[in-house]
Structure 1
Amino acid sequence: MQGCTMHCSINYQWISRRAYSKLPRQLKLKYDAVIVGGGHNGLVAAAYLQRSGVKTVVLERRHLIGGAAVTEEIIPGFKFSRASYLLSLLRPQIYNDLDLKKHGLKVYYRNPHSFTPILEDNGQRPRSLILGLDMAENQRQIAKFSEKDAKAYPEYEEFMNRLVDAIDPLLDAAPVDTTSIAQGTLFQRLKSLQTLRPIVKAGITLGSQIPKYYEVLTAPISKVLDQWFESEPLKCTLATDAVIGAMASPATPGSGYVLLHHVMGELEGRKGSWGYVEGGMGMVSNAIAKSAVAAGAEIYTDMLVEQILVDSSGKATGVVLEDGTEVLSKMVLSNATPHHTYLKLTPREKLPEDFLTRISQFDAKSPVTKINVAVDRLPNFLSIPNASDGKPLPHHQCSIHLNSERMQLLNEAFEDACRGVPSSRPMIELCIPSALDPTIAPPGCHVISLFTQYTPYNLCDGRQWNEKEKNLYADTVFDWIEKYAPGFKSSVIGRDILTPPDLERIFGLSGGNIFHGSMSLDQLYFGRPIPHFSNYSSPIRGLYLCGSGAHPGGGVMGAAGRNAALVAVQNLKRSVF
């Protein structure tokens, strides 16, 4: 068997400690636009602003850019996509406009993309379900569990893809400005009505099927899947996309949209494709940053913004750094979460009380604990044993769904967390990016990403997420992996455990929520982050929200950054700050 060749050379190539550019730069004290936070959306916004002639600076509090889309070498020789770990949702227009391929973005496509091994309770040989781009092969796989479901699956895919086609245009534009329609001048009302076009187009695309699609968006995903299929492994595999990153179970109303959010991706024209980024997710952020810098934007790390400056007229005029330095600007775009932007960075007295109340009620609960693992060999699953040479097989490149034999397991795991208890049988999505990308681990070794649910932010009985509690939960996760792939635990070289409080502390994700806030129906489109402020604006003139807490939400998509930048530029040209 091929073994792991360890080496300890650490290659920190991502970014200099202060300025991200080919030549050292000095932070100026005045710009047209200041962007708070160097997450991927903030970097996208910077690129579009600068390309529009708006002199822009990005200020990132950490030592590296990317927000949750970062690569970190926590264990020598192993490069982890420490938070986000897959690419698909990045908007095609952004990919092309910013010429990200030229700036170093390389993606390894996954096919097949989903592997669900089954723990059999009747002593029979372990089975598994593998899904990919080959529909005939998908049907053969599904037929192992249900001939009826195998026949229904192509129709289900066609049905869901039609909904994706309808919603897709809504992602690339600001939501309808309901305030202007209701209260604006005649000109503003007529102009705002033009933003209804994507909604009208979506309605035309869905046609007479609108009631069925409405049910997909509003009903529990379990109800929707029960109407299509009878096989529990298939339903549970599909249901994981409806609850991933969400404090929700398949029985939660509205979970269907989260599923849709995860199947609407596209990579280089390949619809529904998901991939691993060469060098880890930090290379996505780096490519966007390089595009922004090439246009003239400035990006600085180790720059903690303490406060957004607001003048007596209620207009944003810049920011104050931790050391007291004031950086002035015509406008400020915040890539931070809605909670952090409005409840911590913006002077409270400058915001209406009802706005503050609504923002404080913005749901940012998270069920996620991310565990990054370095191993000296590939997991060896009972259902598909490894090759004798130890090299990756097709199923190793997939999202591997564990504890996904039936949807009730997800419901029970969710109920554990609702009681303040980490799930005793957690939902586990296991990915091995090094199965396709040889640059992130020493030869023979591998990087494993474990995206696990459900873990509460606050534990019951007053307990805290200390090292003991974190390791107890991680041990539970590893024990379950061991059942599917005996020998896994003995292959572990090291691990990095990130509970919801860790995700909040390290990456600035309020509540540990990877989407900056729940993707529930009441917090989408018109309501993201709150009604009347869904078009990236705020009660402070010149202050915009450009992160995942704004429309269209989370994922490494870039849409919120691009849309916010275009709205800000339009207002700047009209001198509406």
Structure 2
Amino acid sequence: MNTLRTVFPTLFGNKLQLAFRRSASQTPIEKTHWDAIIIGGGHNGLVSAAYLAKKGAKVLVLERRKVLGGAAVTEELIPGFQFSRASYVQSLLRPQIVKELKLSKHGYSVLARNPSSFTPLSDGKKYLFLSPDVEFCKEQISKFSIEDAMRYPQYLHWLSKLCRLVEPFFDEAPYDALYNDISSLSLAERWSSSRAGFHLLRESLSSRKEMTEFFELLFSNSSKMLKRWFHSEPLLSTLATDSVIGTMAGPDTPGTGYVLLHHVLGGDWSYVKGGMGSLSESLASVAIEAGAVIQTDTPVKSILVDEIQRKVKGVETLDGQSILGRCVLSNADPKRTFLTLCPKGSLPDNFVSKIQNLDFRSPVFKINVALKKLPHFRCFPKRQTFEGEPTTLAAGPEHKGTIHLGSDNLDMIEKAYKDCSAHHRPSAVPIVEMTIPSAIDPTLAPRGQAVAGLFVQYVPYNAPWEDVNFKKAFVDRVFSMVEDYAPGFIESIIGYDALSPKDLERVFGLTEGNIFHGSMSLDQLYSLRPAAGYSRYRTPISGLYLCGSGAHPGGGVSGAPGRNCSKVVLRDLKRNAEGASLQMALSFWRR
């Protein structure tokens, strides 16, 4: 077990990482009664830990892996190559978290991507770049449609207005009409839940057109909404990828309009300098500085519950330690939290039924690749190389953003989805989001070499991934697909790490490999996430909270569930402390 208590920097693998040592005077964690025990050291758990510790709570974080960060990790899978092994880009992290926790002072830094998107077509000749520079985008889009190029700035303005409607809901616990004890909510809680509603009401009165379009987008499919704006490919398909990423759905599936909106809420996507693990390290640094204790390599076996009072007591670790605490926050997904960690019989039957029937289908297969050189795409002529290294291509605009492969048009994406969903097999022609972060962050790979991430859809969870030959055949199919766009790619591979949905479940604890801790469909959002009556981070067990992506507002590296949950926990801890003081006073006077 590694206890993260005292932090100091050390140079490791061309990357400044946090190293941790155990304080000799530290009290054993099992002999301390904690205010809050957090299950899982993913980014949301670390956000909660930081906020709670900064308010003086005695906080313990228990992470099952030796590596801290959950899915937001940087790992040296191949010597000299640092990979963002699971999540790989950032834009959704709430700006309040960056400011309030002063993350930049703890090493957090982002690297802008310009161009942000590159879609080469399978003919090997045409391509589309998109960028934060609107004029550059208009120039690129005009290669396919001058009319679409002129409409693109209007589309961005329209999206930004819709984002303003939904964004206030991200930063508060949802209003939940079925919450079992609304009368117990403090005035501050009632106001915070109503504030977003008042915002929506005000906007509906002042901009009825936008409100109508907002609700239409929520319930519509992305292809329908995008076709109202544009007519040309690959612009349509490039924009549509944001509506299906990580989702077992195609552009024609109702509800993908909201997924599109969710993925543009944070603005431009960027790389985290040093990989996604640097974000987790920064959060851990804040939490530890505030007094939190973080222990890695410590799987939690079960949540301890007083079943008579239906109240949490603490946790039991896999090695048999019982650790007591006033409350427990689970950063694990809802199915793992309630169906695996909670004792049988400790939860109401109707609640268990709701959790059992949550949609956790995942289409994701992730491949991390170490490359001898940057790939050269057929649609570009040979360009400048590094001086003295004539075989090594210099990084170009095509290497800096997200590279969309197999996405020439909307039909290709829809066909890949239906091929998987209808036949319960990996798509014959999958869609691939390829990123090469070392093109911008040279600390991730040796000079002249590269790290690449391939985020692949669509694959079913129940395919025979345990069969080494089956899994390798799919990986080879993906590599062959990349080779079609960038000849020489396969020859340049030094090594790779392939993660099927079952691997994502095994390594990162993501049930069915779902990166969002459950589908982002409309029946699993806002006051329905994870279940009606329990969307305010509290659960049927008093003192047990859900702080991960399975809670509102859902998946992505936003930190919003962790921040929102910590506010609820702090209110409850204060209320309980005040209640205990009152009970002590009453007991004294009765004597």
Name the structure 1 match of 2:356. 360
Name the CA distance, whole Å, in 1 between partners of 2:198 and 2:24. 46
Q: Which residue of 2 aligns with 1:154?
A: 153
Deviations 1:408-465 (A, max 9, x none): 1111111121121111111100000000001110110000010000010012xxx444
Shift of 1:187: 7.5
In the other structure, the counterpart of 2:92 is 89
Q: Please name the residue that 1:269 is paired with.
A: none
Give per-residue Cα distances to partners, 1:164-204, cap 9 Å, x unaligned. Answer: 11111111111113235x86439768962651221221343
Contact kept? 1:378, 1:392, Cα under 8 Å: yes
Q: CA deviation at 1:483?
A: 1.0
Identity of aligned residues (%): 49
**Aligned AA for 1:200?**
F
- Match of 1:474, SS state, is helix
1:6 paired residue number: none
Partner of 1:308: 303
Q: Does 1:52 align with 2:24?
A: no
Give TM-score scaled by structure 1 length. 0.92
Q: Of 75, 83, 100, which aligns to 2:103?
A: 100
Residue 554 of structure 1 corresponds to 555
The offset of 1:26, in angstroms, is: 3.9
Letter of the structure 1 residue corresponding to residue 301 of structure 2: E
C-alpha distance in structure 1 between counterparts of 2:522 and 2:408, whole Å: 28
Please say if 1:454 is aligned against 2:452: no
Residues 15 and 443 in structure 2, CA contact (< 8 A), matched pair in contact too:
no
Q: Could you tell me how far apart the structure 2 residues matched to 1:36 and 1:186 are? A: 26
Q: Which amino acid letter does the alignment assign opposite residue 164 of structure 2?
A: D
Give the superposition deviation at 1:242.
Answer: 0.2
Taking structure 1 as reference, are residues 137 and 12 closer, same or farther at Cα in structure 2, changes over 3 Å only? closer
What residue in structure 2 maps to residue 196 of structure 1? 194
1:259-298 residue pairs with structure 2 within 5 A? 259-265=260-266, 272-298=267-293
For 2:17 and 2:469, the matched residues in 1 are separated by: 32
Structure 2 counterparts to residues 255-404 of structure 1, below 5 A:
255-265=256-266, 272-311=267-306, 312-389=308-385, 390-404=393-407
Contact 1:465 1:499 in 2 (8 A): no
Give the distance between the partners of 2:328 and 2:404, measured in 1 at CA. Answer: 41
Q: Decide whether the 8 Å contact of 1:33 with 1:330 is kept in 2.
A: yes
Give the Cα–Cα distance (whole angstroms) in 2 for the partners of residues 525 and 236 of structure 1: 28
Corresponding residue SS for 1:101? helix
Task: Indicate the larger mover: 310-319 or 380-389.
Answer: 380-389
Distance (Å, rounded) in 2 between the aligned partners of 1:78 and 1:435: 13
Amino acid at match of 1:27: I
- Per the alignment, residue 253 of structure 1 pairs with 254
CA distance in 2, matches of 1:263, 1:79: 27
- In structure 2, the partner of 1:232 is 233
Q: Distance in 2 between matches of 1:500 and 1:57?
A: 30
Q: State the shift of 1:400 in Å.
A: 0.5
Using the alignment, how far apart are the partners of 1:32 and 1:514 within structure 2?
A: 29
Change (3 A) 1:293 1:189: closer
Change (3 A) 1:18 1:316: farther
Q: Counterpart of 2:431?
A: 427
Residues 37 and 190 of structure 1: is their aligned pair in 2 closer, same or farther, counting only changes over 3 Å? closer
Pairwise CA distance, 1:134:
1.3
TM-score (norm 2): 0.90
List per-residue Cα deviations over 1:185-229 (Å, max 9, x = no partner). 397689626512212213433521212121111111011111111
Between the aligned partners of 1:186 and 1:314, the Cα distance in structure 2 is: 17
Q: Give unmatched runs, 5+ long, in structure 1.
A: 1-8, 266-271
Cα displacement string for residues 489-546 of structure 1 (whole angstroms, at most 9, x for unaligned residues): 1111111100100000000001100011110011110111111111111000000000
Name the residue aligned to 2:533.
Answer: 532
Does structure 1 residue 115 correspond to structure 2 residue 118? yes
> Does the C-alpha gap of structure 1 residues 386 and 549 become closer, same or farther in structure 2, counting only changes over 3 Å?
farther
Q: Which one-letter code corresponds to 2:172 in the other structure?
A: A
Deviation for aligned residue 1:57: 0.3
Give the Cα–Cα distance (whole angstroms) in 2 for the partners of residues 229 and 523 of structure 1.
Answer: 30
Alpha-carbon contact 2:14-2:443 (below 8 Å) kept = no
Name the CA shift for 1:56/1:188 in 2 (closer, same or farther; >3 Å). Answer: closer
- 2:152 partner letter: Y
Q: Which residue of 1 aligns with 2:83?
A: 80
1:162, 1:338 → 2: CA distance?
Answer: 32
Shift, 1:62, TM fit: 0.4
Q: 2:369·2:495 contact (CA, 8 Å) conserved in 1?
A: yes
Q: Is the 8 A contact 2:30 2:322 kept in 1?
A: no
The CA distance in 1 between the partners of 2:309 and 2:342, in whole Å, is: 14
Post-superposition Cα deviations, 1:467-503, rounded to whole Å, max 9, x if no partner, equal: 2111111111111111111111111111110010000
Aligned residues: 554
**Any residues of structure 2 matched to 1:462-481 within 5 Å, and which?**
463-481=464-482
- Is the partner of 1:238 in helix, strand or coil? helix
Structure 2 residues without counterparts, runs of 5 or longer: 1-11, 386-392, 580-591
What SS class does the counterpart of residue 234 from structure 2 fall into? helix
1:27 aligns with 2:22: no
* CA–CA separation in structure 1 for the residues paired with 2:69 and 2:192: 34
Change (3 A) 1:484 1:25: farther
- C-alpha separation between the residues in 1 aligned to 2:406 and 2:174? 38
Q: Are the aligned partners of 2:36 and 2:329 in contact in 1 as well (CA < 8 Å)? A: yes
What letter matches 1:178 in structure 2? A
CA shift in 2, pair 1:190/1:387, >3 Å: closer
SS in 1 for 2:89: coil
Distance 1:157 1:23, change over 3 A: farther
Output aligned runs, 1:6-17, within 5 Å.
14=17
Root-mean-square deviation (Å): 2.0
